[in-house]
Amino acid sequence: DWTMANVIDEQVADIRERVGDKHVICGLSGGVDSAVAAALVQKAVGDKLTCVFVDHGLLRKGEAEQVERDYVASTGVSLKVVDAQERFLNALAGVTDPEEKRKIIGREFIRVFEQAAAEVVAEADAHGEQVEFLVQGTLYPDVVESGGGTGTANIKSHHNVGGLPEDLQFQLIEPLRKLFKDEVRAVGEELGLPSEIVWRQPFPGPGLGIRIIGEVTADRLETLREADAIAREELSRAGLDREIWQCPVVLLADVRSVGVQGDGRTYGHPIVLRPVSSEDAMTADWSRLPYELLARISNRITNEVREVNRVALDVTSKPPGTIEWE
């Protein structure tokens, strides 16, 4: 009998037995998969689990706080936060090439995570505990895809933040291996996780770093975060956030256009809205959002976000356009 309560009970019993008196580590990305996987392990082994959250500064508005505050409050996990924002900004300074950005973010992420993992190992060791397991939020479609032949054309190098550094010697715990995304969300709800996390739309590992077209800087991140927050707020207010697949908001940081705001001429940056509908992100269509909603988002962004004086809508399907701009 396949209810989410049963799935939870079964996984909790399995994990408890496997872990025994060892220690477990888990990387949290802010996404639903790692959050639900870690919550299951927490339920099974309590403080034998240590979660690591690398704050690379490329998350959207409020997302780091959702992990650090709301997720911890609802699960009781012991969380190690690494503030790596400066480090990522420094590593990304001067870089505009999309693949280069992805490589840098992936590389820095693994370095920071490995360092944090080594610290967790040392701390556990001091308590006479051995860290033997790493939790991964692998879902059933990931299992099928990696076992199933050719997979997808590798158009962009994908770095899943929270992914497994190759030379870390841990055994894997993958409590979501039999589940589809909607089931993972149901488990997350059953476990009482914050709905912002449970219902979060797909978000790329490199985060806002690949939604700023041009160099990534602290100011540009701030601008994009504000615009993105407005778009998300209006989408959910319109009840459409769970309808669409995702809506990247992209800052064309290297483009300027002339505008008139208040009683002055401005020379600001455009923001692009990229709402898409999709089943699996392999193909996608642009979402026909209501004009009223688009108007509200546009008005608010141009009124509330300094530096942005123009909002454009991406009406390209995938193919030919990928969902993300980089």
324 binds ligand XMP, rule: CB under 6 A: yes
The CB-of-104 to ligand XMP minimum distance in angstroms stands at: 12
Place of tokens 């895809």: 145
The CB-of-286 to ligand XMP minimum distance in angstroms stands at: 12
The CB-of-245 to ligand XMP minimum distance in angstroms stands at: 7
The CB-of-177 to ligand XMP minimum distance in angstroms stands at: 18
Using CA atoms, how far apart are residues 95 and 220, in angstroms rounded to an integer?
A: 14
According to the annotation, is 34 in a ligand binding site?
yes
Backbone angles phi, psi at 247, to 5 degrees: -140, 80
Beta strands in 57-97 (DSSP E): 78-83
Per the CB < 8 A criterion, the answer to whether 321 and 315 are in contact is no
As to burial, measured by CB atoms within 10 angstroms (0-12 exposed, 13-18 middle, 19+ buried), residue 202 is middle
According to the annotation, is 31 in a ligand binding site?
yes
Q: Please provide the DSSP assignment of 113-164 as one string.
A: HHHHHHHHHHHHHHTT--EEEEE----HHHHHHHHSTT----SS----TT--
Residue 185 vs residues 70, 116, 196, 217: alpha-carbon distances, Å: 17, 28, 11, 34
204 binds ligand XMP, rule: CB under 6 A: yes
Shorter beta-carbon distance to ligand XMP: residue 62 or 98: 98
Backbone angles phi, psi at 86, to 5 degrees: -60, -45
According to the annotation, is 147 in a ligand binding site?
no
Shorter beta-carbon distance to ligand XMP: residue 286 or 300: 286
Shorter beta-carbon distance to ligand XMP: residue 7 or 213: 213
159 binds ligand XMP, rule: CB under 6 A: yes
Residues in the chain: 326
Q: Which of 206, 209, 270, 275 is in the footprint of ligand XMP by CB under 6 A?
A: 206
Q: Which of 240, 281, 293, 313 is in the footprint of ligand XMP by CB under 6 A?
A: 281
Shorter beta-carbon distance to ligand XMP: residue 36 or 131: 36
Q: Which of 62, 98, 165, 202 is in the footprint of ligand XMP by CB under 6 A?
A: 202
Provide the token pair at 67. Answer: 């992990």
Provide the token pair at 291. Answer: 């004009």
Only one of the segments 117-125, 154-162, 185-193, 266-274 lies at the binding site for ligand XMP (rule: CB under 6 A); that segment is 154-162
According to the annotation, is 30 in a ligand binding site?
yes
Which chain residues interact with ligand XMP by CB under 6 A?
156, 158-160, 202, 204-206, 246, 281, 318, 322-324
Where is the binding site, in residues? 29-35
Where is the binding site for ATP, in residues? 29-35
